[in-house]
Amino acid sequence: MTTPSPGSPGPPSPAPPSAGPPSTSMASLARNPVLRVLFAAMLVNTLGNGLFMTISALLFTRVVGMSPSQVGFALALGGVFGIASGVPMGRVADRLGARPTVVALLGAEGVLVLGYTQVHSFWAAVPLICGVTFLDRGATAVRNALVGQALPAELRMPGRAFLRMATNGGVGIGAALASVALVVDTPAAYRTIVVLNAVTFLGAALLLTRVPAERPARDATSGGGGFRALTDVPYLVITVLSGVLVLQQGILEVGVPLWVTRETHAPRLLVSACLVLNTALVIALQVRMSRGAEDPRVAARACLRAGTLMAVGCLLFGLSKGPDPWTASLLILGALALQTVGEVLYAAGSWALSYELADEHAHGVYQGVFNSGFAAGALLGPLVVTQTALRHGMDGWLVFGGIFLVTAVAFVPATRWAAANRPAWREAPA
């Protein structure tokens, strides 16, 4: 791919076809002009996410005036709206194009986020939270479709891995910057963070206008078959299995902090160490462990290994209850490392399956379906970990690990079935 000359208008243009596959080294990915734009947009957007995630609980409770239970209810309801957004927003992307759709969604979300500075009650906050979450999850699904459209098939997997580095880096930078507001601890400081978060959405939208636009495929703009992903049973099965492995996020978000502080003799500081270790391992391993996963069979085996590692990690978490602080700490760090490697493998495998088993001319709806499964797993993860591991100790961790293991084993036959039943229209030219 070629980079436009300095000051020239328009988006980066794709390179002419070459004899061999493009390099997927870190340096070559960083030089790719389309990936550079996507990386910058993701970094800006997730920096805003990190800003808001850090102060959101205090914003809702101390500024808006909501109780913790009200915050939990509103966020859960917003999560339901997020699950529902992927498919309709994906259909819009298939009809109008992924680039204009995601730009519009991010712009609208930025404007809506500003509403957090004006609400002062539970009833005013709930519809706003639902609206923001609907737009946010829809934008995520469409952005994934945009990656599928803007990058050649051989660059989708390493490209997604490269972009995940921006996600982790952006959230970390945003969280660090938001710590200033935590120190100041005033309503004005929290509202300032909200405004900065809104600006990042608008900045990301502007950056994405430089991604090459794809013309919607003819079959996507026609009246029939626009939602066929909803009847593609093999793809739906893969989506459900992937959603189950996403439950692992609940362990890092809720399970580790509560388990370490309430059920083990490990120091509280270990919670922060786990977050740092998770971020560092994802950044260090994601690109490397995503290479070669483009083949659905390889991707399925990656998910098999991912679920197995997550299951072993659950066992180590359970064993950390009771031992002395040093032993407990080593067990927890070992468990977290296994869980994170599993997370990296799962990400690589699931990305490949979500693209390779989808209709090339309807990435919007297919990524919408897949993202809905992801959103459902992310929503249910905290509930599952609290009702298994945190309530029943070792027995609960074994149940949770068993769920991961059964799901992991199911990936290989499910992928074989899906690959053997690829409808002819997936291979047909536009």
The count of structural domains within the chain is: 2
In the prediction, which pLDDT does 108 show? 96
d(CA 313, CA 335): 4
| 177 lies in some domain | yes
Which own/partner pairs from 183-191 qualify as long-range (CB within 8 Å, at least 24 positions apart)?
185/58, 187/62, 187/63, 190/55, 190/58, 190/59, 190/62, 190/63, 191/59, 191/63, 191/116, 191/117
Task: Please report which confidence band the pLDDT of residue 393 belongs to, taking 50, 70 and 90 as the band edges.
Answer: very high
Distances (CA, A) of 90 to 63, 93, 223, 348: 35, 5, 15, 22
Which of 146, 172, 207 delimits the end of a domain? 207
pLDDT at 281 over 60: yes
pTM of the model: 0.80
| 197 lies in some domain | yes
Question: 80 and 139 in one domain?
Answer: yes
Task: Please report which confidence band the pLDDT of residue 408 belongs to, taking 50, 70 and 90 as the band edges.
Answer: very high
In the prediction, which pLDDT does 191 show? 94
Question: 119 and 85 in one domain?
Answer: yes
Structural domain of 66: 26-207
Task: Please report which confidence band the pLDDT of residue 271 belongs to, taking 50, 70 and 90 as the band edges.
Answer: confident
Average pLDDT value for the chain: 86
Question: 394 and 327 in one domain?
Answer: yes
Task: Please report which confidence band the pLDDT of residue 217 belongs to, taking 50, 70 and 90 as the band edges.
Answer: low
Question: 253 and 188 in one domain?
Answer: no
| 222 lies in some domain | no
| 16 lies in some domain | no
pLDDT at 423 over 60: no
| 257 lies in some domain | yes
Q: What is the pLDDT of residues 327-367, one digit of tens each?
A: 999 999 999 999 999 999 999 999 889 888 888 778 888 98
Q: What is the pLDDT of residues 372-387, one digit of tens each?
A: 999 999 999 988 998 9
Question: 245 and 194 in one domain?
Answer: no
Top mean-pLDDT range of 2-16, 153-167, 403-417: 403-417
Element (H, E) at 283: helix 269-290
Copy the structure tokens of residue 29: 């990915």
Question: 254 and 188 in one domain?
Answer: no
In the prediction, which pLDDT does 229 show? 78
d(CA 248, CA 401): 10
Q: What is the pLDDT of residues 298-324, one digit of tens each?
A: 999 999 999 999 999 999 999 999 899
Least confident of 171-175, 290-294, 363-367: 290-294
Which tops the pLDDT comparison, 407 or 272?
407
| 1 lies in some domain | no
Which of 144, 176, 207 delimits the end of a domain? 207
Which tops the pLDDT comparison, 166 or 371?
371
pLDDT at 9 over 80: no
In the prediction, which pLDDT does 11 show? 42
* CATH code: domain of residue 133: 1.20.1250.20
Question: 248 and 193 in one domain?
Answer: no
Question: 404 and 368 in one domain?
Answer: yes
| 235 lies in some domain | yes
Copy the structure tokens of residue 119: 């609400």
Distances (CA, A) of 347 to 64, 245, 275, 287: 36, 10, 18, 11
Question: 202 and 268 in one domain?
Answer: no
Which own/partner pairs from 5-13 qualify as long-range (CB within 8 Å, at least 24 positions apart)?
10/210, 11/37, 11/209, 11/210, 11/211, 11/212, 11/213, 12/36, 12/37, 12/210, 12/211, 12/212, 13/212
Torsion of CA 167, 343, 153, 422, to 10 degrees: -140
Copy the structure tokens of residue 280: 């560092």
Question: 293 and 201 in one domain?
Answer: no
Question: 234 and 187 in one domain?
Answer: no
3-state secondary structure of 43: helix
| Mean pLDDT in residue range 60-77 | 88
In the prediction, which pLDDT does 214 show? 67
In the prediction, which pLDDT does 215 show? 60
pLDDT at 216 over 90: no
Task: Please report which confidence band the pLDDT of residue 5 belongs to, taking 50, 70 and 90 as the band edges.
Answer: very low
Least confident of 19-33, 70-84, 298-312: 19-33
The fraction of the chain above a pLDDT of 70, given in percent, is: 89
Q: What is the pLDDT of residues 243-263, one digit of tens each?
A: 999 999 989 888 998 899 889
In the prediction, which pLDDT does 179 show? 85
pLDDT at 234 over 50: yes
Q: Which residues fall within 8 angstroms of residue 11, CB to CB, at 6 or more apart?
A: 4, 37, 209, 210, 211, 212, 213
Which tops the pLDDT comparison, 175 or 13?
175
pLDDT at 15 over 50: no
Question: 245 and 137 in one domain?
Answer: no
| Mean pLDDT in residue range 115-139 | 94
Element (H, E) at 27: helix 26-31
| Mean pLDDT in residue range 43-68 | 89
| 164 lies in some domain | yes
pLDDT at 413 over 90: yes
pLDDT at 35 over 80: yes
